[in-house]
Amino acid sequence: MTTKSRIAALCGVLVVLGLTTVTAPPHVLADPPPPRDPVVVAAGDIACSPSDPNFSNGLGTPGHCRMKTTSDLVLGIAPASVFMLGDAQYHGGSLADFNAGYAPSWGRLKPITRPAIGNHEYVTHGGSGYFTFFGNAATPRQPGCAKDCEGWYSFDVGKWHVVVLNSECTKISGGTGCAVGSPQQQWLAADLAAHPAKCTAVLQHRPRWSSNSFASADVAPLVDTMYAGGVDLLLAGHSHSYERFAPQTPSGVPDDARGIREIVVGTGGAFYTGFAKVMPNSLVRKDKIFGVLKLTLRPDSYDWAFVAAPETPFTDSGTGQCH
């Protein structure tokens, strides 16, 4: 009997037995899951030099040089990006210190780091240690620049537009600083106009508001420009503590509709500083703490959560809506 005959006979038996064959439906591919909202981590004021008596082989001592601990926190979070808020390397920001202090700790996250320059980086002339260590990641508008570079640029993460500014206004080459009409202020206005995203964040080292001596009036023209351009979130360091403000106008008036929420996260590991007179609209303050700010960047909102080092337990979390 041929193969075809055997198949015909089998079909006949199935019919006799009252059985019918069922054809399997074609395989349907499921839609891929939607992309996850990106998680990022922010902190500044991070690594000590090996010459610091508290360096302790890069592990630090209680209250000092805890950059390995905070970088371990970040590795555990596994973020899409790291927002480094300045003063990455104390005290002078030399390339040698970057390679010996920052590189073995937060340098493990260098491929995903978006850096902002701080005042201690400029202790080394022109910020050359910082600009050389981070390379084009710190100077995407000036590839190859390694000294006296602009230090401002922007990028996108998920649906968010993120701007990095140079808040060391007196150190910017050309002497125009952060004033109205300065190259940085004009660029910021143009960049925000060209990227009208629903959600926008700005990263810089010096805070506009801080409940101590670290607030900077020099950046006021930039904050005016941020407000006009619809910026939602301002992240800064410089003060070695954690402080979260309510959304406010550049003049410090509460504004839930269009205000900028500033969060100061100078808790990256270097050492502590405290508070003095509490500023208006300051909602949460914590000194003597190390840790990082975890942000989930949603298309029209953001979640924040402070992730503290085990030695300095503390929590602060919430959700903010974009303009």
Helix axes 220-228, 183-194, angle to 10 degrees: 20
Q: Does 9 or 70 have the greater pLDDT score?
A: 70
Residue 18: predicted pLDDT: 44
Q: Phi and psi (nearest 5°) for 50?
A: -60, -20
pLDDT digits (tens, 9 = 90+) for 9-66: 444 433 333 444 445 455 556 666 667 899 999 999 999 999 999 999 999 999 999 9
Give the model's pLDDT for residue 284: 98
Smallest Cα–Cα separation from 133: which of 174, 183, 84? 84
| pTM: predicted TM-score of the whole model, two decimal places | 0.90
The set of long-range contacts for 121-126, using a CB threshold of 8 Å and a minimum separation of 24, is: 121/86, 121/87, 121/88, 121/89, 121/93, 121/168, 122/93, 122/168, 122/171, 123/91, 123/92, 123/93, 124/92, 124/93, 124/94, 124/95, 126/173
pLDDT band at 287 (very low <50, low <70, confident <90, very high): very high
Query: What is the predicted pLDDT for the residue at 7?
Result: 42
CB atoms within 10 A of CB 276: 10
Tell me the pLDDT of the chain averaged across its residues.
92
Q: Where exactly are the structural domains of the chain?
A: 35-321
pLDDT digits (tens, 9 = 90+) for 116-140: 999 999 999 999 999 999 999 999 9
Residues ≥6 apart with Cβ < 8 Å to 185: 178, 179, 221, 222, 225
Q: What is the pLDDT of residue 174?
A: 72
Give φ, ψ of 258 to 5 degrees. Answer: -130, 5
- Cβ neighbours of residue 69 under 8 Å, at least 6 residues apart? 59, 60, 269, 290, 309, 310, 311
Question: Cis peptide leading into 240, omega within 30 of 0?
Answer: no
Joined together, the tokens standing for residue 292 give: 């990082």
For residue range 184-235, list pLDDT tens digits in order.
999 999 999 999 999 999 999 999 999 999 999 999 999 999 999 999 999 9
Q: Rounded mean pLDDT of 85-93?
A: 97
Reported as a single tens digit per residue, the pLDDT across 162-184 is 999 999 999 997 767 899 999 99
Can you give the pLDDT at residue 26? 56
Q: What is the reported pLDDT for 27?
A: 57
What is the homologous superfamily of the domain 35-321 according to CATH?
Metallo-dependent phosphatases (3.60.21.10)
Candidates 161, 159, 167, 318; CA nearest to 246 is 318
Q: Is the pLDDT score of 295 beyond 80?
A: yes
- The pLDDT assigned to 177 comes to 87
Q: How much is the pLDDT for 176?
A: 73
Give whole-number Cα distances, 29 to 25, 32, 91, in Å: 12, 9, 57
State the pLDDT at residue 255: 98
What are residue 83's phi and psi, to 5 degrees?
Answer: -100, 105
Q: What percent of the chain has pLDDT over 70?
A: 89
Q: Which residues contact 111 (CB under 8 A, 6 or more apart)?
A: none
